[in-house]
Amino acid sequence: MPYSLLIRNCGQLLTMAGSAARGPLTGAQMRDWPILENAFVACENDWVVALGPMSELLETHVTAATQVLDAGGRVVMPGLVECHTHLVFGGNRAHEFQRKLQGEAYLDILASGGGILSTVRATRAASDAELLENALHHLAGFRCYGVTTVEAKSGYGLDAETELRLLRVAQEAGRRQPVRVVPTFLGAHVPGPEYKGRPAEYLDMLMQEVLPHLNPQEVPFVDIFCEEGAFSLADARRYLEQAQAMGFGLKIHAEQLHDLGGCEMAAALGAVSIDHADYLTPAAAARIATQTQGQTVAVLLPLVPLFLRQDRYAPGRAFIEAGLPVAVSTDFNPGSCPSKNLWLALSMACLKMGLTPREALAAATINAAWAIGQQQHCGSLEPGKRADLLVLDVRHYEEIPYWLGENPVRHVVIGGKLE
Ligand code: NIG
Ligand code: FE
């Protein structure tokens, strides 16, 4: 079979290969993944079929039907995996940016009826077509940044009908363009405005009126925000246990602003990821790593404390030393991170959380794939995986988090097609 696409002369081919059968990369594995110098990667239709040093390229598979891309000595790597976004929403919160700059805190804005609830009003008022257009706009932005898989949470409807609508929009957006979309149900973002002060009743409503209508094959994860002003530890546990009994994988937003114990609780239930974790202590991280045998991924979101003007960043370095696998994501959303620049998040993970460039790259590819159950399909370059890959405008991986705020992407390939 001839190759349909061949990328030759890759100065450094960052494979992140080898973990798919075992688990997310932990400890030293996060910085020891293979780099091939002067290499090629070959695809047949949607799939990677071969890679290796240029000297091992089988020219017999390269025919007139093969599209050949010369990387010219540049870095080639897997497409980025964005494992935590709130993709579908109406409006924006530029008006609250001023309030934040004047010193108002995130939870105070929420308590005054703004924050997440202001986006809920805009989202409920938007038509399906408007929400879809916005989601497609944001996916196009992600694609420019080399993001080839995006997790997309609901959570700005906060009633049964709108939450289901947001998941349908996310799925439709996935069908309309090449970036792959993995939907997550975050109806338990905060209690809906109709349930103010009655969080447990709101969760009962979700368990009775929404979860039974979702198919875990299509919406694989259920997420909850465990925080003051959102849901308590006890409510979150009860809700996640029910979601698990119904066949969903689990995720949690926890230890973002306070240490309520949400990460440890969700990890004990076997959550695929624990997200934010800015207030998670290294001791608790070590307990989680041991208890889950490194299967639960801590998703670090360094652009959030930056945008919320907070000093506290998750101790990512300590998490890695404790054996907890970490991923990095933007948390793209209109309130705490209106940025799709995952490269900037990588730089910030190095600057503020102590990751090395190699760890940060693993965190935004293979470990991010694990954090959304996509490790069989994406996050590394190896035969049998989807041909989602990037040619970057740099010649050494160390440059990637160094060029602060730049987009190093020169070419994006999704499913073997040059975009
Ligand atoms: O992940 N922390 C809770 N939820 C989102 C922000 C949502 C919003 O402010 O609109 C987050 O940061
Ligand atoms: Fe989030």
Per residue in 37-65, pLDDT (tens digit) is 999 999 999 999 999 999 999 999 999 99
CB under 5 Å of ion ligand 2: residues: 331
Cα of 154 vs centre of ligand 2, distance in Å, is 10
Task: Name the closest-CA residue to atom 8, ligand 1.
Answer: 335
CA dihedral sign of residues 46, 49, 51, 55: negative
Q: Helical H runs in 246-333?
A: 262-268, 282-292, 303-307, 316-321
pLDDT (0 to 100) of residue 18? 76
Cα gap 12→75, rounded to integer Å: 5
pLDDT (0 to 100) of residue 20? 63
pLDDT (0 to 100) of residue 109? 92
Q: How many CB atoms lie within 10 A of CB 20?
A: 17
Task: Name the closest-CA residue to atom 3, ligand 1.
Answer: 225
Give the 3-state secondary structure of residue 22.
Answer: coil
Inter-axis angle of helices 128-144 and 160-176, nearest 10: 50
Annotation-wise, does 335 bind a ligand?
A: yes
Task: Name the closest-CA residue to atom 12, ligand 1.
Answer: 336
Residue 380 and residue 24 in contact, taking contact as beta carbons nearer than 8 Å: no
Annotation-wise, does 395 bind a ligand?
A: no
Q: Helical H runs in 199-296?
A: 199-209, 233-245, 262-268, 282-292
| Mutation to probe ligand 1, out of 333, 337, 339 (largest number of atoms < 8 A from CB) | 333
For residue 331, the ligand 1 atom closest to its alpha carbon is 1
Cα of 190 vs centre of ligand 1, distance in Å, is 10
Is pTM beyond 0.95? Reply is yes
Cα of 222 vs centre of ligand 2, distance in Å, is 13
pLDDT (0 to 100) of residue 113? 87
Residue 215, phi then psi, degrees to nearest 5 = -105, 120
For the chain, which ranges sit under pLDDT 50? none
Annotation-wise, does 86 bind a ligand?
A: yes
Per residue in 346-383, pLDDT (tens digit) is 999 999 999 999 999 999 999 999 999 999 999 999 99
Cα gap 253→4, rounded to integer Å: 42
Q: What is the ipTM of this complex?
A: 0.97
Ligand 1 pocket list (CB less than 6 A):
86, 115-116, 119, 225, 253, 256, 304, 331, 333-336
